[in-house]
Structure 1
Amino acid sequence: MSAFFEVSGVEGGYGGGRVLNSVSFGIERGEVLAMIGRNGVGKTTLMRALIGLVPLSAGSIALDGVELGHAKPYVRAQQGIGYVPQGREIFGMLTVAENLQVGAQANRAQAAEMKAKVVEYFPILKARYRQKAGTMSGGEQQQLAIARALISAPKVLLLDEPSEGIQPSIVTLIGDTIQRIAREARIGVLLVEQDMGMVERIASRCCVMDKGRIVDTPSPAQLGDEQLIRQYLAL
């Protein structure tokens, strides 16, 4: 039986070169799946392939029974794939409200309802509503980036290094909120993350990538094993 979000035998890369080597995994509603591994093993390329920014040379991507492996990025967004890229990529010259309005374009019908939900998840955004996004702290910008993806009511949310460049207390807040969103909104979450504390705390399951393929599936509890983590991340 297929998972709610099913990735099967995905291959792809840049300029004819192959980075991803037959990557397969599934995510259910309400589940947080962490994808870990050292830098350069293909994690960000995988995220970009899932959202449609890197073309597939083989494999399939299905969400709620709908095949999206060769769909345009905007179609994937409309079908329910939300994406928060590494580095956030918020629109710094736009206000918080305007950034959220941009995110709402993929699903205007639910935008008003979701706007109320995202400011409940991230109340700092309500206080910053008319502020230019570029003047906010890194942690506030990350909360905005996640809210911008959530406002389109996605079925699955792809998060690429949400802890990057953020102070530890805000990392904890964001991690706890991601877990809450997955549980309450029944959204499947794919989390690419180097912060093993966050992964251990919020992930339901974990996959390890190396050389463009999934090489192991440790339990979150195993991520407390420092020797094992050194092996996975080649520290």
Structure 2
Amino acid sequence: MSALLDIDAAESGYGGGRVLNGVSLRIREGEILALIGRNGVGKTTLLRTLIGLVPLAAGSIRLDGREVGHDKPYARARQGIGYVPQGREIFGALTVAENLQAGAQANRGRAAAMRDKVTGYFPVLKAKLQHKAGTMSGGEQQQLAIARALIGAPKILLLDEPSEGIQPSIVGLIGETLLKIARETGVGVLLVEQDMGMVESMATRCCVMDKGRIVDTLTRGQLADEALIRQHLAL
């Protein structure tokens, strides 16, 4: 099966310094690929490079066969990359409905149908469409952030630490929902996550990152090997 997202030898960084040093990975339709590693090894930089917030210095990023590595962030969103940043970054002063409307700008033609679809996946949002997003719990805000990215009908969804600051029961609910979404819609997911329980329950494969490179790829079976995971996270 061909890759939905194909990253080849990607390099990027900040202020002339390199953080990514030749990252290559591929995500297929309906696949959830986890990315783990110590803090500061380039995981968030990779996501920000994929969405266009950090310029690609070398290499290529192809989405469904099309090179997007030098497109503007809004153009990548329209091409089919959805992004949920660390810390959620929802619009707290806007209602849930208005947050979803903002996300729908990436694909306005499908906005109405997609709103029904994403609120079906996250029923708490349907019940709170007219509530100010800033009044909701952290778990509800995370569900809104994911729904806001999904309403644009992306081909690839980038998630940066979705479990951060959320109680375990809601983390489990979000994980189950993302699995269902990947199965039913075929969206590919790139998940940066430190909660290994979430990674183990969701990921099809898991890439290990160190010093701006992918240094290993683990199967689902290997994710249950605690000694191996400890070794990688202590690189």
TM-score, length-scaled by structure 1: 0.98
Secondary structure of residue in 2 paired with 1:198: helix
Distance (whole Å) between structure 2 residues aligned to residue 148 and residue 118 of structure 1: 8
Secondary structure of residue in 2 paired with 1:69: coil
Q: Identical aligned pairs, as a percentage?
A: 75
Q: Letter of the 2:90 partner, please give it.
A: I
Aligned-residue offset at 1:228: 1.3
Secondary structure of residue in 2 paired with 1:18: strand
Secondary structure of residue in 2 paired with 1:217: strand
Q: Letter of the 1:48 partner, please give it.
A: R
Q: Letter of the 2:88 partner, please give it.
A: R
Distance (whole Å) between structure 2 residues aligned to residue 81 and residue 211 of structure 1: 25
Q: Letter of the 1:49 partner, please give it.
A: T
Distance (whole Å) between structure 1 residues aligned to residue 86 and residue 177 of structure 2: 18
Q: How many residues align?
A: 235
RMSD over equivalenced CA pairs, Å: 1.0
Aligned-residue offset at 1:47: 0.2
Unaligned runs of 5+ in 2: none
Aligned-residue offset at 1:220: 2.1
Whether the 8 Å contact between 2:4 and 2:156 is mirrored in structure 1 is no
Residues 115-136 of structure 1: per-residue CA shift (max 9 Å, x gap) = 0000110000011111110110
Distance (whole Å) between structure 1 residues aligned to residue 90 and residue 116 of structure 2: 20
Secondary structure of residue in 2 paired with 1:118: helix
Which position in structure 1 is the counterpart of 2:184? 184
Secondary structure of residue in 1 paired with 2:221: helix
Q: How does 1:13-162 map to 2 (within 5 A)?
A: 13-162=13-162
Which position in structure 2 is the counterpart of 1:194? 194
Question: Which runs of structure 1 show a deviation greater than 4 angstroms over 4 or more consecutive aligned residues?
Answer: none
Aligned-residue offset at 1:42: 0.3
Secondary structure of residue in 2 paired with 1:19: strand
Distance (whole Å) between structure 2 residues aligned to residue 65 and residue 149 of structure 1: 21
Aligned-residue offset at 1:219: 1.0
Which position in structure 2 is the counterpart of 1:3? 3
Distance (whole Å) between structure 2 residues aligned to residue 64 and residue 2 of structure 1: 8
Aligned-residue offset at 1:2: 4.8
Larger proportion of strand: 2
Whether the 8 Å contact between 1:34 and 1:207 is mirrored in structure 2 is yes
TM-score, length-scaled by structure 2: 0.98
Which position in structure 2 is the counterpart of 1:167? 167
Whether the 8 Å contact between 2:19 and 2:42 is mirrored in structure 1 is yes
Aligned-residue offset at 1:33: 0.4
Whether the 8 Å contact between 2:2 and 2:28 is mirrored in structure 1 is no
Distance (whole Å) between structure 1 residues aligned to residue 61 and residue 74 of structure 2: 15
Q: Letter of the 1:171 partner, please give it.
A: V
Residues 87-136 of structure 1: per-residue CA shift (max 9 Å, x gap) = 00000000000000000011100000100000110000011111110110
Distance (whole Å) between structure 2 residues aligned to residue 221 and residue 120 of structure 1: 32
Distance (whole Å) between structure 2 residues aligned to residue 227 and residue 158 of structure 1: 28
